[in-house]
């Protein structure tokens, strides 16, 4: 099987994806090309735009991913701009925005595969849940400390790695991609 690159500067994301795809018999390599993200309303558009930018530079089969979190009370917000919004308004702002509102929210990851001369193809995975009213004490990552998946009694921050993985939007997207990739024998 030919090499497949995951273009990311985030080694944790790479390690997570490498393990998931290994179970499908796919050997993932990292490419730390830094693709500056463009502004789009959803993570799907960001992911596709990153794939086009990466393939121009790398000229090899590759995947990229982008993740967003969406508050159902608002419109594609904060979406793929989750980091910038969190840096801007923090937990205080997030809780203010949802005060007295429907607190339903979901994470969505889109993995996009592209190889030279081929149009990109995307696979998305979601995790639905809600934004809780109080920030978890154990803060692992921005939104994880206020996001509780459906069917759970803990926020992502309060879960073990294995517990969190059972809900993982990123794992769902990667599993979908792997299924397609193996069937299409690329």
Do the beta carbons of residue 108 and residue 43 sit within 8 Å? yes
Q: Residue 41 or residue 61: which is nearer to a copy of itself going by CB?
A: 41
- Angstrom CA distances, 50 to 8, 39, 55, stand at 10, 11, 9
CB of residue 71 to a copy of itself, shortest distance in Å: 8
- Residues interacting with a copy of itself, by CB under 8 A? 36-39, 41, 49, 74-79, 81, 84-85, 87-90, 93, 96-97, 99
Distance CA 61, CA 101 (A): 44
DSSP string for 136-181: -SS-SSGGGGTEEETT-SS-GGGS-HHHHHTT-HHHHHHHHHHHHH
CB of residue 36 to a copy of itself, shortest distance in Å: 5
Active site residue 3: no
Q: Residue 12 or residue 36: which is nearer to a copy of itself going by CB?
A: 36
Q: Residue 25 or residue 90: which is nearer to a copy of itself going by CB?
A: 90
Question: Which one of 66, 87, 99, 175 is the catalytic residue?
Answer: 66
**105 pairs with which residues across the strands?**
71, 129
What is the DSSP code (8-state) at residue 101? S
CB of residue 41 to a copy of itself, shortest distance in Å: 7
Q: Residue 37 or residue 176: which is nearer to a copy of itself going by CB?
A: 37
CB of residue 96 to a copy of itself, shortest distance in Å: 5
Cite the active site residues: 66
């Amino acid at each position: 099987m030919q090499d497949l690159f995951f273009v990311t500067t985030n080694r944790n994301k790479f390690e997570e994806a490498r393990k998931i795809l290994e179970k499908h018999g796919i050997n993932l390599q990292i490419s730390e090309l830094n693709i500056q993200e463009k502004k789009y309303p959803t993570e799907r558009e960001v992911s596709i735009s990153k794939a086009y930018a990466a393939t121009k530079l790398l000229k090899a089969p590759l995947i990229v991913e982008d993740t967003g979190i969406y508050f159902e009370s608002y419109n594609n917000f904060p979406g793929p701009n989750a980091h910038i919004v969190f840096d801007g308004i923090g937990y205080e702002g997030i809780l203010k925005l949802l005060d007295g509102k429907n607190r339903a929210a979901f994470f969505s990851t889109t993995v996009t595969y592209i190889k030279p001369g081929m149009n990109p193809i995307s696979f998305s995975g979601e995790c639905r849940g809600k934004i809780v009213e109080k920030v978890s004490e154990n803060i692992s990552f921005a939104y994880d400390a206020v996001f509780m998946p459906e069917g759970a009694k803990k926020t992502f921050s309060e879960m073990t790695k294995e517990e969190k993985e059972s809900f993982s939007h990123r794992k769902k997207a990667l599993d979908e991609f792997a299924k397609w990739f193996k069937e299409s024998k690329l």
